Amino acid sequence: MFIAAIARPHINATDEVLWDGKIGIFPFTETHYAVRRSENRPVGTATLRAITRVTRDILRDKLITEVLPAIRSKWPANGVKDIWIQQDNAKPHILINDHAFNEEAKKDGFNIRLVCQPASSPDMNILDLGLFSALQSIQFKSFPKDLNDLIKAVNDAYDTFEPKLLNYTWIQYQLCMIEVLKAKGGNNYKNPHIGKQRLDRLGMLPRQLEIPQELIDAARQFLSHGIINLNDLPQDD
């Protein structure tokens, strides 16, 4: 199991990648030492093993000791330091008000906060929307023989993943968010396509997608249904 962290890459008007948006991909492993001599290794030999059951404590430690330091070290010098980390709703994930995480997330002028992915909404996750499937297709070509080979293959796939493709994923994320608004918060929509590579070749690929005002108004009206205004309730004498 791995935990990955990515942000939107910085690509200027001349198609130059100023920052690739890659924070890191971190395996859940632990080091064991051989307690008995064998034909393959002497006593005390260090071996790497996968952590097969990731608990909330393990995940918290991974975030604090590896992910947050990687964000601080790789974040662009001119980047805004108010950062949201989105996580899905898997049980091992820490709570958004986790004290130890929040204390560490405020170091060095950063204001890093957690937010949870909307339930039953895989398209609202950048990793699931593009990165993981792309990494799998690259990694499967390497035929790793053991855990060390697997970790190297995943890291190599992550390192070679094109920042442009990552930027396409962020645009796709915006497209899906618009479809969610049209579906009134539901997920009964088809994943939209606009021909991002073609638009990019023509220099017409948008960075931000505009949301029609009528769609915003319709979403607000839908959200307002069922909301009780406390001022309209009868008051006790």
Contact 200, 14 (CB under 8 A): no
pLDDT at 144: 74
Using one digit for the tens of pLDDT, what is the confidence trace for 28-50?
998 877 667 776 677 767 778 89
Assess if residue 151 is contained within a domain.
no
Name the band, by pLDDT with cuts 50, 70 and 90, for residue 188: confident
Interatomic CA distance for residues 126 and 29, integer angstroms: 24
Residue 160 to residues 11, 62, 71, 101, Cα–Cα distance (Å) = 17, 24, 19, 30
Assess if residue 231 is contained within a domain.
no
Assess if residue 4 is contained within a domain.
no
Evaluate if residue 102 carries a pLDDT over 90.
yes
pLDDT at 237: 46
Contact 194, 141 (CB under 8 A): no
Residue 141 to residues 1, 25, 135, 144, 166, Cα–Cα distance (Å) = 19, 19, 10, 9, 20
Number of domains in the chain: 1
pLDDT at 212: 93
Look at residue 87 and give its three-state secondary structure: strand
Assess if residue 93 is contained within a domain.
yes
Assess if residue 148 is contained within a domain.
no
Interatomic CA distance for residues 212 and 57, integer angstroms: 44
Phi, psi of 3 (to 5 degrees): -120, 130
pLDDT at 139: 63
- Nearest to 22, CA basis, from 166, 171, 173: 166
Assess if residue 33 is contained within a domain.
no
Assess if residue 154 is contained within a domain.
no
116: tokens are: 């949870």
Using one digit for the tens of pLDDT, what is the confidence trace for 117-146?
888 788 888 888 887 777 777 666 767 788
Domain of residue 71 covers: 55-116
**Choice between 137 and 148, residue whose per-residue pLDDT is larger:** 148
Contact 110, 70 (CB under 8 A): no
76: tokens are: 């662009």
Name the band, by pLDDT with cuts 50, 70 and 90, for residue 227: low
Assess if residue 64 is contained within a domain.
yes
Kind and range of the H or E run holding 193? none
